[in-house]
Amino acid sequence: MLGDVRPSASRRSWWLREALAAEAATAPHLASAAAAPPLRGTITADLVIVGGGYTGLWTALRAAELEPGARVVLLEADICGGGPSGRNGGFATNWWDEYPTLVERYGGDGARAVGQAIEGAVDELGTFCAEHGIDAWYTKAGSLTASAAPAQDDAWLASLEKLRRDGLGDRLVPLSADEVASRVRSPVFRAGVFMPGAATVQPAALARGLRRVALERGVTIAEGTEVIELDGQRPGWLGSVGARARRAPARRGNGQGFRPVRIRTRSSAGDGEVLAGAAVLGLNAWAAAWPWFGRRLVTWSSYIVLTEPIPDRLADLGWTGGEGLADARFTLHYLRTTPDGRIALGGGGGRAGFGGRIGAAFTDDLGDVRRAAAGLRRLFPSLADVRIEDAWGGPIDITADHLPWFGSIPGRPIHVGHGYSGNGVAPAVVGGRILAAKGLERADDPVLALPLASGRPPRPFPPEPARYVGARLIREAAVRRESMEELERDPGAVLREVSRLPRRLGYHLGPD
């Protein structure tokens, strides 16, 4: 099945290769590196954005919309969409399946408002793509979670009951085993739950489309430009291990004695510098290397395998509706189809990184790819002969409550958005609005009334090396426990208890 396919940082994801080829054919002037040349020398900006994934790009677009004359500069170490925004599964799901956590964190009204904002973001993705001619295969066909073992049955019950009680029962619809089978037939699927408000996209086509519109709106984008120093701080995976940032002096008054954010960069063109009124950091897992955030993020790898086109086999499975699909493990498998009849499947485990280091473990791990391929075989044994044509991985940014944080560095006009915990496609739309409003000091922007815009920073994790060792141990226990449960074997008290440890310690992570 896997043949000689190997994941490698040196090869772009299939999504991104496709998106770049389409871009070169349809908008060669914007596709070329000359449209977003690396930074050289010193420039000034009203708002500087670091990171050219969804968070940075939506922020840039929203900032250009809020203040058309503002000088907005976006710096990206690779190319826009080179990170997880061009490598993810393309599931644009809402947060109703996380509703109990939302209520716990934001209260009843806050949870409803946040849930509705993310729900709206899924629709906005579709509208935006249609308005700007972005062919990102936006398909709003919902998302199906199916139990694939008795231990996974009713994993969604708590969300379902709470939603019903609050009059939101239509957001997640329980399905019988027969109803699941009418959407997709698998010998291991049992009952399930359907999220009608979910969509899928071609993730890299979306990222590159956002880049195109940002350029058209006058945003200056510098690709191949790595930020090496920000406001006197430097990233470093050793530096982040238990390090505490020096507290920067507070911003003083309105312009009087104001100290701009100073950024130093490195690129093939030479050294660069940006002096800006405010900064937004959309760094995803790379944020863990910066001293401000290291303790509040665990970096985690996630891998995807992509099959050859098999439209006839999909028809045999009855899976032709375009809906996203997942099992109900904590170490879940998620699958979706493509217009040419492929399956992209991700997940099945992943691994924690050490400190803030984003190295080869996030892009080149054959073991995790094998695990993903094994997941596909288990869910659809009839596809055992189907060729896997590509595989790739990327880092995700996990917080203690599995929700992103849109906050600010105390006393400085530096705003950050990260911690999507593997669910950033739709939330980044809202995140971009929040971050642009903060960066341009639009205190009256209604998006800032969302509790998501003012939440406290996520709870810290234990310092390294305890964080790394603990995460590896718990992950191993969780994967083994869930694999044994799939075989309907008792994992035993030790595996069960170790895998539950994060929950016992108050983190919203790991199986229950």
Site residues (vs ligand FAD, CB under 6 A): 50-56, 75-78, 82-85, 87-91, 226-227, 282-284, 286, 302, 304, 346, 393-394, 396, 418, 420, 422-425, 428
Minimum CB distance to ligand FAD, residue 434 (Å)? 13
Minimum CB distance to ligand FAD, residue 478 (Å)? 18
Nearer to ligand FAD, 353 or 491 (CB): 353
Nearer to ligand FAD, 51 or 455 (CB): 51
Nearer to ligand FAD, 394 or 491 (CB): 394
Given the DSSP bridges, would you call strands 91-92 and 199-200 parallel, antiparallel or unpaired?
antiparallel
Minimum CB distance to ligand FAD, residue 108 (Å)? 25
Nearer to ligand FAD, 396 or 409 (CB): 396
Nearer to ligand FAD, 184 or 396 (CB): 396
Nearer to ligand FAD, 289 or 447 (CB): 289
Spatial CA neighbour of 335 closest among 365, 374, 377, 376: 376
Q: Residue by residue, what is the 3-state secondary structure of 155-194?
A: CCHHHHHHHHHCCCHHHCEEECHHHHHHHCCCCCCCCEEE
Beta strands in 255-381 (DSSP E): 261-267, 270-281, 298-307, 324-327, 333-337, 343-347
Minimum CB distance to ligand FAD, residue 293 (Å)? 12
Minimum CB distance to ligand FAD, residue 336 (Å)? 8
Spatial CA neighbour of 110 closest among 400, 419, 454, 429: 454
Q: How far lies 53's CA from each of 87, 206, 295, 439, in Å?
A: 10, 10, 22, 17
What value, to the nearest 5°, has the Cα angle with vertex 82 and ends 78 and 83?
105
Please report where in the chains the tokens 């809202």 appear, as a residue.
Answer: 430
Residues facing residue 233 across a β-bridge = 230
Q: Is the dihedral of CA 282, 468, 474, 369 positive or negative?
A: positive
Angle between helices 99-131 and 427-439 (to 10 degrees): 80
Nearer to ligand FAD, 356 or 511 (CB): 356
Q: Which two tokens stand for residue 30?
A: 């914007």
Residues facing residue 365 across a β-bridge = none
Nearer to ligand FAD, 286 or 354 (CB): 286
Minimum CB distance to ligand FAD, residue 77 (Å)? 4
DSSP codes, 283-301: -GGGGGGSTTTGGG-EEEE
Minimum CB distance to ligand FAD, residue 39 (Å)? 10
Task: Give Cβ neighbours of residue 156 (< 8 Å, ≥ 6 apart).
Answer: 97, 145, 172, 174, 193, 328
Contact at 8 Å (CB) between 90 and 201? yes
Contact at 8 Å (CB) between 204 and 53? no
Minimum CB distance to ligand FAD, residue 319 (Å)? 17
Minimum CB distance to ligand FAD, residue 426 (Å)? 6
Nearer to ligand FAD, 123 or 226 (CB): 226
Minimum CB distance to ligand FAD, residue 47 (Å)? 15
Nearer to ligand FAD, 96 or 495 (CB): 96
Phi, psi of 467 (to 5 degrees): -60, -45
Minimum CB distance to ligand FAD, residue 61 (Å)? 12
Contact at 8 Å (CB) between 345 and 375? yes
Nearer to ligand FAD, 281 or 498 (CB): 281
Residues facing residue 222 across a β-bridge = 75
Spatial CA neighbour of 511 closest among 460, 94, 486, 376: 486
Cis? peptide before 465, omega within 30° of 0:
yes
Minimum CB distance to ligand FAD, residue 512 (Å)? 22
Distance CA 51, CA 19 (A): 19
Nearer to ligand FAD, 83 or 511 (CB): 83
Nearer to ligand FAD, 142 or 491 (CB): 142
Q: How far lies 37's CA from each of 44, 74, 400, in Å?
A: 16, 11, 37
Minimum CB distance to ligand FAD, residue 368 (Å)? 10
